[in-house]
A and B are shown apart, each in its own frame.
Chain A
Amino acid sequence: MTDTSTLARGGADTSAPSRRGRKRARGSGLPPKAVPYVLLLPGFLVIAVLLLYPMYQMVEMSFHKVGLRQIKAVNPAPADFIGVDNYESVLSSPLFWSSLRNTVVFALVTVALTLLLGTLVGLLLNKLGPKMSTFVVVGIMAAWATPPTAQAIVWKWLFDSDAGVANWMLNLLPDGLSRLLFGHSDWSGQPWFNDTSTLYFVLIVAVVWASFPFIAVSVLAGLKSIPSELYEAAKMDGSGAVTTFRRITFPLLKPVFSVLVVLSIIWDFKVFTQLYLLAGGTTNRDAFNLSLWSYAEAFGGSSPKLGLGAAIAVVLTVILLLITLVYVRQIVKTEDDIR
C-alpha cells in the first residue's frame, strides 16, 4: 500500500523535475509521476462514460419531458424543460406512497430476517464439527449461487396454486391448527400471486433464502477471527451463552455487522428481478416498488415517460445514498486504518 518503490524510482526526479526522468524510466518514455495516471485513465474513462455521465443525465432527464419522439435514433426532437413537474407528479401519485411503502417494508422485514437467520446459522456453523460444517456450507452455497431469475422461477413453482409444494405442506397441518392460524384449512388451489401481501410474502421468503448464506459465511469468518482465549476466560468467569454473545462476540463483530447491514439494505431496497418475475411484469401496479415503478413508467407502456421514470430513479438513489453515507464513512475509516 505504501509507495516506497515509486519513491525509489522517481525520488531523484522530484528534486530535478526539469529532466522529467526520461533516462531513469527504462522501457518507456513516461515520466514516473505520470505512470499511475496512465494506468488509471482507461478505467476512469469507462466509469466516467458509463456510470458518471448517465448519473448526470438521469438527473437532467428528470427535469425534462422525454418520450418516444425524444429518443428516436434519427433526428430526435429536443426534450422540453418542465422544471420539477416530474417530481410533482411522482409525489402526488398514489403509486408513490404504495411503492415507497412496499420498498421500505420489504427492505426492513427482509434485512431483519436475513441478518437474524444468517447470524444464527453463522453461530451454528461455528459450533458444528468440521465435517457437518462443510456439509452445511456446501448446502447453503447452492441457495446463494442460484441466479435471481432462477430463484424467482423456482419459488413461483414452489408456491404454485395447484401443484406447488407449499400448499401441499400447508394441507398437512392439522385442520384445527390451520384454521386457528390462517382462518381456513383447505389450501388446494390457494393462489399466492394475485394479492400484493402474499406476493410480497413469497418474495421475502425467496430473497431471505438467497441472501442468508452470505451473512452466515461472513459471520462465520468473523467468529473464526476471535481468539478462543477470550471465550475461555469468559467461561472461567462464569459467563452464560447469552452474556458471552452480548459482551464478547457482538462487540468484536460489530464492524462486520455494520457492513453487512448496509450491504443488505442496498440490495433489498432496489430488488427488481425477483419482483418483476413474481409479479409477472408491470401489469400489477399494486405490487410496484420504486425500482419497478420507475421501470414501468419508462418502458412499461406504449407511451414511455422516461423523464418521469428518471425522477423516480433519482428519488430512490437519494434515499439509498443517504443510507449508505454511513457505510462509505465506515469503509473510508477502515481504509485509513489499513494504511
Chain B
Amino acid sequence: MNPLARRRLGRIALNAAGVAVFLFAVFPVYWMVATAFKPNDQIFTTSFIPFPSPPSLDHVQRVFTKGVGELPIWQYLLNSTLVALSAVVLGAVFALLAATAVARFRFRFRTSFLILLLIVQMVPAEALLIPLFTMVKRIGLYDQLLGLIVVNVGLTLPFSVWMLRTFVAAVPKELEEAAWIDGAGRFTTFWRVLFPLVAPGLVTTSIFAFITTWNEFVFALTLINDQGKYTMPVALKFFVGQRSTDWGGIMAASTLMTIPVLVFFLLVQRRMVSGLVAGAVKG
C-alpha cells in the first residue's frame, strides 16, 4: 500500500473511532428521550424501534398533569429549583468572601485553611449523612426544604471556595491598588472593582454548585419525608418504585431532570476541566 492510501485509511479509521465514541456516549441519552416520546406499543416490544414514529406527547403530558405520585411534576421541579437556587445564592456569598481572603491576603492560617478545604472534600458526604440527619432532626429542620438548603450550602462550599480563589487571583491587583490610591474605601474597591471582574468566575462556580445540588440524591432522600417536598431525584426514585412499568413516564421525567444540567454543562464546559483538575471533588 502506498503511503498516501495508508494515510487516508488511517484518517478514516480515526474518524470511525470518533463516531463510535460519539454513539456510545449519546445513545443512552438519545434512548431516554426517544422512549419518552414513544407510544406504549413501541416501548414494550422486543424489537428495536429506532425512532418514535409518530412521536407521542402522551407521557410528557401525563407527568405534567397526572404526575408522579399524586402530584404533577411541576411540584418537584419547583422544589429542586428552590433548593438549588437558595443553596447557590447563600453559598456564593460565603464562597466569595472566603475566596477573596485566601487569594488576596497572606495570613497565618491561610495554608491550614486551604488544606482543610481539601481534606473535608475527601470525606465522603454519605458518611456525614448520619450525623447531619440527627443534627437536622434535633434543630427541627427535618422534612423541611430549609434543612436541605442548609446542608447543600455546606456540601458545596469547600469546592466553591477552592475554585473561586483561582478566579480572584487572576484579577490583576493593580486595579484595586489604583482604586485604593484614588481614595476608594475597602468596600467600594471590592464592590466596584473586584466584584465585576470576578463575576464570570462566580457564575461558573455557581453553576457547578447548582448542578451538584440539583443532582444530590442521598440527603434529599433522607432529610425529606413529605412527598410534596421531594426534589426531582427522589421523585424519580419514587416513580420507579411506584410504577416500575411506566417506562414512558419515567423517561419523560428523567429527560426533564436532565435538560437544565445539559444546558448548564454546555455553558461552562470549557472552564470545567481546569476547575476540577485544579484540585477538588465533585459532589
Identify the A interface with B (CB < 8 A). Answer: 1-6, 8-9, 25-28, 30, 33, 35-37, 39-40, 42-44, 46-47, 49-55, 57-58, 61, 66, 71, 73, 76, 121, 124-125, 127-128, 132-133, 135-151, 153-158, 160, 162-163, 165, 167-168, 188, 209, 213-214, 217-218, 221, 256, 259-260, 263, 266-267, 269-270, 272-273, 276-277, 280-281, 291, 294-295, 298-299, 306, 309-310, 313-314, 316-317, 320-321, 324, 327-328, 331-332, 334-335
Contact = CB atoms under 8 A, between A and B. Distances in A.
B54 interface: no
A294 B126 contact: yes
B124 to A, nearest CB: 4
19 contacts: A3-B105, A43-B97, A47-B158, A51-B158, A133-B18, A142-B262, A146-B258, A149-B254, A149-B257, A150-B236, A156-B240, A157-B250, A158-B28, A167-B46, A214-B276, A259-B279, A294-B129, A295-B218, A309-B130
A309 to B, nearest CB: 5
A328 B4 CA distance: 49
A155 B217 CA distance: 17
Contacts of A321: 119, 122-123
B240 A153 contact: yes
Contact of B104 (A5, A52, A125, A138): A5
Contacts of B101: 35-37, 39-40
B67 interface: no
B58 interface: no
B116 to A, nearest CB: 7
A334 B281 contact: no
Interface in B229-283: 232-233, 236-237, 240-241, 247, 250-251, 254, 257-258, 261-262, 264-266, 269, 272-274, 276-277, 279, 281-282
Interface residues of B, number: 110
Interface of B: 14-15, 17-18, 21-26, 28-29, 31-32, 35, 43-48, 93-95, 97-98, 100-107, 110, 113-120, 122-124, 126-135, 137-138, 140, 142, 150-151, 153-155, 157-158, 161, 169, 173, 176-177, 180, 183-188, 214-215, 217-218, 222, 232-233, 236-237, 240-241, 247, 250-251, 254, 257-258, 261-262, 264-266, 269, 272-274, 276-277, 279, 281-282
Q: Which residue among B43, B135, B251, B254 has the maximum number of chain A CB atoms within 10 Å of its CB?
A: B254
> A-B pairs with the 8 shortest C-beta distances?
A27-B185, A50-B154, A43-B98, A3-B106, A313-B127, A36-B105, A57-B131, A54-B131
Contact of B124 (A42, A44, A291, A310): A291
A138 to B, nearest CB: 8
B154 to A, nearest CB: 3
B45 A40 contact: no
A43 B135 contact: no
Contacts of A149: 215, 217, 232-233, 236-237, 254, 257
Contact of B131 (A33, A139, A310): A310
A273 B282 CA distance: 14
Given A121-B21, A140-B25, A51 B128 contact: yes
Contact of B122 (A50, A259, A295, A324): A324
B215 A40 contact: no
A135 B18 contact: yes
Contact of A124 (B21, B98, B102): B21
Contact of A317 (B124, B135, B150, B266): B124
B90 to A, nearest CB: 9
Contacts of B93: 42
Given A58-B130, A136-B18, A163-B44, 18 more contacts: A27-B184, A28-B187, A36-B102, A40-B102, A42-B93, A47-B116, A54-B135, A55-B131, A71-B134, A73-B138, A142-B25, A149-B254, A150-B254, A150-B258, A154-B31, A168-B46, A209-B28, A221-B274
Nearest to B125: A270
A139 B20 CA distance: 11
Given A6-B106, A8-B177, A157-B35, A147 B215 contact: yes
B150 A50 contact: yes
Contacts of A162: 44, 46
Nearest to B173: A5
Contacts of B151: 50
Contacts of B124: 266, 269-270, 291, 313, 316-317, 320
Contacts of A54: 128, 131-132, 135
Contacts of B107: 33, 36-37
B28 A295 contact: no
Contact of A306 (B128, B134, B215, B281): B134
A273 B212 CA distance: 13
Contacts of A150: 32, 236, 254, 257-258
